[in-house]
Chains A and B, each alone.
Chain A
Amino acid sequence: DAGVTQTPRHEVAEKGQTIILKCEPVSGHNDLFWYRQTKIQGLELLSYFRSKSLMEDGGAFKDRFKAEMLNSSFSTLKIQPTEPKDSAVYLCASSLRSSQNTLYFGAGTRLSVL
């Protein structure tokens, strides 16, 4: 079975650009999560979807961050416009429906904003 696939693995953007990160969850998983990882803040929740419905979003990220589930097997995270402080690793994870189910993480996209 394929795991969570994230593309691209690395992204370099100029300040003010729009970037789109992509994620394909594990086949059959109902829940999809986007997290941002930095050394200082750790893993911060950006968005959580269940079967294409937005269940939670990180309050601090509503302004320039927009995640979407285009279908049950594909999600995007758009950052518009990018700022240097957005430089981080963006992680996508998926799981089966119930809370006891573990999350499976993608390899992440490392974003550098110049």
Chain B
Amino acid sequence: AQKVTQTQTSISVMEKTTVTMDCVYETQDSSYFLFWYKQTASGEIVFLIRQDSYKKENATVGHYSLNFQKPKSSIGLIITATQIEDSAVYFCAMREGAQGGRALIFGTGTTVSVSP
């Protein structure tokens, strides 16, 4: 059975610093995709970044990057040079299979608070 676990409930950081969030997953599939989503205070959920299981290189988009450690079934999110607007809830998610047919499963989220 697939499962996604985020153990950090909340993190507080100062603006312009780096924040790291943890996520571990469980899957029996050899092919899967890992995602991070952000939910803002307004409730809007937006996609941030994706890691394909078959890729060794860590994905990077803007000031978001991933720390993919496949042997540990771990996919951490790193936000560098944080801004006040990065305050949000961050969800890790996984989808099994290359062709789809399986739903996206989410972790419980990590709340990040960025202070000036």
* Chain A residues packing against B (C-beta within 8 Å): 31, 33, 35, 41-43, 45, 48, 50, 55-56, 89, 91, 93, 97-105, 107-108
Contact = CB atoms under 8 A, between A and B. Distances in A.
A99 B99 contact: yes
A55 B109 contact: no
B88 to A, nearest CB: 14
Contacts of A91: 45
Nearest to A97: B100
B43 A50 contact: no
A93 B33 CA distance: 17
Contacts of A48: 102-103
Main secondary structure of the interface of A (DSSP, over half): strand
Contacts of B106: 35, 42-43
Interface residues of B, number: 28
A33 B45 contact: no
Q: Tell me which of B32, B45, B109 has the highest count of chain A C-beta atoms within 10 A of its own C-beta.
A: B45
Interface of B: 31-33, 35, 37, 43-47, 50, 52, 91, 95-109
Which 4 pairs of residues, A with B, have the shortest CB-CB distance? A42-B108, A48-B103, A102-B47, A43-B106
10 contacts: A41-B108, A45-B104, A55-B102, A55-B103, A98-B98, A98-B100, A99-B31, A99-B95, A101-B100, A105-B46
B52 A56 contact: no
Q: Tell me which of A35, A48, A93, A99 has the highest count of chain B C-beta atoms within 10 A of its own C-beta.
A: A99
A3 to B, nearest CB: 10
Contacts of B52: 100
